[in-house]
Amino acid sequence: MIKRNLLVMGLAVMLSACGFQLRGTGTNELSLKELDLSARNAYGDTVKQLRNALENSGVRLYSGAPYHLVLTNEQESQRAATYTGGTRSAEYELTTVVNYEIQGLNKAVLLADKLEVRKVYVRDGNNVTGSSQEAKRVRDEMRNDLVQSLMVRLQQFTPARLDELQLKADQRAKAEADALEAARRAQDATPQQSPMQIPAN
């Protein structure tokens, strides 16, 4: 018994040393400690779940934070994946896509990306209620996966990395402003043609 316990403990130590974590047992420690969070669907389940995950990771969420995470769009769709002999759909593929942005100073977009999750569930034509409940359960799982994936992506962003992206965004904005100003000056310097004078008879 003692040997078995030691073996289990040894395996656990080895796996943790390799960076392995059981799903749901690890922590999503973020370098960012301040963040503004909003979504087009401000009362949707995804943004609520993401808010909880961020707060549980020690992130202070408030309006006016240096960086702003925006869920710009969330789309759910489904399509028939397989059919039974009676042409009744037996399996459905569910898809959820979330587009998001990280904004910095002056609402400059530092990063724009998306996450996509697909899952298949079996629909029983003889049990519509049960199939609807199964679809909802799968959608909930997909939402959990999306939030976890987004947390993993956020772990990659340190304040230094975001400052670097902010600098690049500022440089792009300045280049665009300079180009517009140069075009305006060129237009102002171009002499305007006078209306054609038609000699009177």
pLDDT of residue 173: 83
3-state SS assignment for residue 155: helix
pLDDT digits (tens, 9 = 90+) for 181-197: 888 888 888 776 655 55
8 Å CB contact between 67 and 37: no
Find, among 71, 79, 82, the residue nearest to 95 by Cα: 79
Nearest 10 degrees: CA dihedral of 18, 19, 21, 25? 140
Of residues 112, 121, 115, 123, the one with CA closest to residue 143 = 115
The confidence score (pLDDT) of residue 199 equals 61
**Per-residue confidence band for 16, with pLDDT thresholds at 50, 70 and 90:** very low
CATH fold of 32-180 reads: Double Stranded RNA Binding Domain (3.30.160)
Token representation of residue 30: 């973020």
What per-residue confidence (pLDDT) applies to 8?
47
Q: Report whether pLDDT(18) > 80.
A: no
Least confident of 17-21, 107-111, 119-123: 17-21
Percent over 70 (pLDDT), the chain: 75
pLDDT digits (tens, 9 = 90+) for 160-184: 888 888 888 888 888 888 898 888 8
What is the structure's pLDDT at 158?
86
**What is the C-alpha to C-alpha distance for residues 133 and 90, in angstroms, rounded to an integer?**
15
DSSP character at residue 190: S
Closest of 102, 120, 73 to residue 168, by C-alpha:
102
E strand or H helix at 139: helix 128-155
Helix (H) or strand (E) holding 80: strand 68-83
- pLDDT of the residue at 184: 87
- Residue keyed to tokens 């939402």: 143
Every domain of the chain and the residues it spans? 32-180
pLDDT at 82: 79
How many Å apart are CA 26 and CA 56, to the nearest integer? 12
Q: What is the pLDDT of residue 176?
A: 87
d(CA 184, CA 121) in angstroms, rounded, equals 58
